[in-house]
């Protein structure tokens, strides 16, 4: 098989040990770029060789991308076909079935599940696949076939991923199998959420926060809760399920807040759930001016620092979130601040959050650091796969 595939060769200065030790990416600067390699169509399966022409792995090549090769299999002769995809999906599914009794979870977490650039979230008999790499997009039908064999009747290809542009991919979201017109109800941590698979953010629901929802819900018993950047009610609805007295959800998206309210109604908690549409920063400032105080405040913003060039501005934004959110917490109450920016690693995010709390004139103790749930495994060689951080502080004054 290997002799029929195109070859990508590492430059002499490139560290082949990284690949041998399991790193899944090869950057364009590390590959010999000649006429033949530049002519390889995006998404083609190729053989990666070291500078001495020793085969290292079967890779997906996209020479126009910063990540010019993604390791698919450490066997250079591996056949990357529908059976190979089905085996990887089956391996991922076996892990999730051990974790959760109900079929609502992240089924595939990209490189960490051996499927580079591929994210799949499951919603019962439906799933949303984000093939953010050219090799996977070209094999979307094989993914759909394999998912159907696993019992999923509805398969949506979501083409909104930010990485697709770098891979030369289109932005057409479409059903590959079946189709659903209505939002999907998801029970998680005792709360009921409604996910809009076709029109919502990302895949429609953020499963990664599941353990952090549960932790905050435990602190929120009998408390009033402010959930900022609430999306479809993530922390607020979990808090109500955990016994919170009231919850206010703030978001800029009216459709997301409508789904949040629908979830509260399904839980029988409409009377205790309020929504407020508006810019999160402006709304927090307005609540502060109104003298509003809450027992628990959560801010779970979008990625302010999705890549290193945005890191400085992103950290300033996280500091500003903390500065505006801290005054809204009652003395003895709790503040949870989240970041899904992989470029803002934990120590930098923590420092920005602590600066913001200090500049708000509040004294706090850090009581808990949370991460994504186990359906979002971390690739040991890829820090980017462990992107989510959730810091919970107790306000002492």
Residue 340 annotated as catalytic: yes
DSSP 230-246: -TTTHHHHHHHHTT-SE
- The answer to whether 90 and 147 are in contact (CB under 8 A) is no
Torsion sign (Cα): 149, 152, 155, 160? negative
Buried b (16+ CB within 10 A) or exposed e, 271-305: ebbebeeeebbebbeebbeeeebbbbbbbbbebbb
What's the burial of 72, exposed, middle or buried (CB within 10 Å: 0-12/13-18/19+)? buried
pLDDT tens digits for range 181-192: 999 999 999 999
pLDDT at 165: 85
Instruction: Count CB-CB contacts under 10 A for residue 166.
Output: 16
- Range list for CATH 3.40.50.150 in the chain: 184-395
Catalytic residue among 188, 329, 340, 388: 340
Give the distance, in angstroms, between the CA of residue 105 and the centroid of all CA atoms in the same chain.
12
pLDDT at 3: 60
pTM score, whole prediction: 0.95
Q: What are phi and psi of 388, to 5 degrees?
A: -85, 135
pLDDT tens digits for range 300-344: 999 999 888 999 999 999 999 999 999 999 999 999 999 999 999
Measured distance CA(134)–CA(173) in Å, rounded = 15
DSSP 62-89: -TTSSEEEEEEESSTT---SHHHHHHHH
Measured distance CA(328)–CA(340) in Å, rounded = 23
pLDDT at 291: 97
Residue 202 has pLDDT above 90, yes or no: no
Measured distance CA(202)–CA(18) in Å, rounded = 31
Measured distance CA(161)–CA(153) in Å, rounded = 23
pLDDT tens digits for range 37-66: 999 999 999 999 999 999 999 999 999 999
What's the burial of 143, exposed, middle or buried (CB within 10 Å: 0-12/13-18/19+)? buried
Task: Using pLDDT thresholds of 50, 70 and 90, give the confidence band for residue 1.
Answer: very low
Task: For the sheet with 389-395, list strands across it.
Answer: 273-277, 246-251, 224-228, 294-299, 329-339, 389-395, 364-370
pLDDT tens digits for range 105-132: 999 999 999 999 999 999 999 999 999 9
CATH 2.30.130.10 fits 2-73, yes or no: yes
> CATH topology for 184-395?
Rossmann fold (3.40.50)
- Range list for CATH 2.30.130.10 in the chain: 2-73
Instruction: Count CB-CB contacts under 10 A for residue 381.
Output: 16
CATH 3.30.750.80 fits 82-177, yes or no: yes
Percentage, residues of the chain above pLDDT 70? 99
Residue 2 has pLDDT above 90, yes or no: no
Residue 100 has pLDDT above 80, yes or no: yes
Cα distances (Å, whole numbers) of residue 206 to 124, 197, 198, 388: 15, 12, 14, 11
- Range list for CATH 3.30.750.80 in the chain: 82-177
What residues does 156 pair with on adjacent strands?
128, 175
89 or 1, higher pLDDT: 89
> What integer best gives the mean pLDDT of the chain?
96
Cα distances (Å, whole numbers) of residue 17 to 9, 24, 76, 212, 381: 14, 12, 16, 36, 12
- Assigned token pair, 71: 């390791």
Measured distance CA(318)–CA(299) in Å, rounded = 10
DSSP label of 31? B
For the CA atoms of 379, 383, 385, 388, what is the dihedral angle to 10 degrees?
130
Residue range 17-37: mean pLDDT, rounded: 95
pLDDT at 228: 98
pLDDT at 7: 96
Collect all residues with Cβ–Cβ distance below 8 Å to 85 and sequence separation of at least 6: 115, 139, 142, 143, 146
Q: What are phi and psi of 200, to 5 degrees?
A: -85, 180
Measured distance CA(353)–CA(304) in Å, rounded = 13
Residue 248 has pLDDT above 80, yes or no: yes
E strand or H helix that includes residue 343: none
């Amino acid at each position: 098989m290997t002799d029929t595939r195109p070859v990508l060769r590492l430059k002499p200065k490139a560290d082949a040990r990284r690949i041998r030790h399991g790193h899944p990416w090869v950057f364009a600067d590390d590959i010999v770029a000649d006429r033949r390699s530049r002519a390889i169509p995006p998404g083609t399966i190729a053989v990666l060789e070291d500078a001495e022409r020793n085969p290292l792995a079967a890779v997906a090549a996209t020479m126009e991308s910063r990540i010019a090769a993604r390791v698919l299999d450490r066997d250079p002769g591996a056949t990357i076909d529908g059976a190979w995809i089905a085996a990887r999906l089956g391996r991922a599914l076996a892990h999730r079935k051990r974790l959760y009794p109900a079929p609502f979870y992240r089924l595939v977490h990209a490189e960490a599940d051996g499927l580079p650039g591929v994210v799949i979230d499951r919603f019962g008999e439906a799933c949303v696949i984000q093939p953010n790499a050219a090799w996977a997009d070209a094999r979307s039908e094989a993914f759909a076939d394999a998912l159907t064999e696993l019992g999923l009747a509805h398969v949506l290809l979501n083409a909104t991923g930010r990485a697709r542009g770098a891979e030369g991919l289109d932005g057409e979201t479409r059903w590959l199998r079946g189709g659903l017109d209505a939002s999907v109800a998801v029970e998680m941590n005792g709360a009921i959420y409604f996910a809009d698979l076709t029109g919502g953010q990302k895949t429609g629901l953020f499963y990664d926060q599941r353990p952090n929802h549960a932790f905050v819900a435990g602190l929120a018993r009998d408390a009033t809760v402010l959930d900022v950047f609430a999306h479809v009610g993530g922390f607020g609805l979990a808090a109500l399920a955990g016994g919170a007295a009231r919850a206010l959800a703030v978001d800029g998206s009216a459709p997301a807040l409508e789904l949040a309210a629908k979830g509260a109604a399904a839980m029988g908690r409409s009377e205790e759930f309020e929504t407020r549409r508006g810019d999160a920063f402006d709304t927090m400032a307005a609540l502060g001016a109104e003298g509003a105080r809450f027992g628990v405040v959560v801010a779970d913003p979008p990625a302010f620092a999705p890549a290193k060039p945005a890191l400085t501005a992103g950290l300033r934004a996280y500091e500003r979130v903390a500065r505006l959110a801290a005054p809204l917490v009652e003395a003895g109450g709790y503040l949870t601040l989240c970041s899904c920016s992989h470029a803002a690693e934990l120590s930098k995010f923590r420092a920005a959050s602590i600066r913001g709390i200090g500049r708000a004139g509040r004294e706090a103790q850090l009581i808990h650091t949370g991460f994504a749930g186990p359906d979002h495994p971390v690739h040991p060689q890829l820090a980017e796969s462990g992107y989510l951080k959730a810091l919970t502080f107790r306000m002492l004054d």
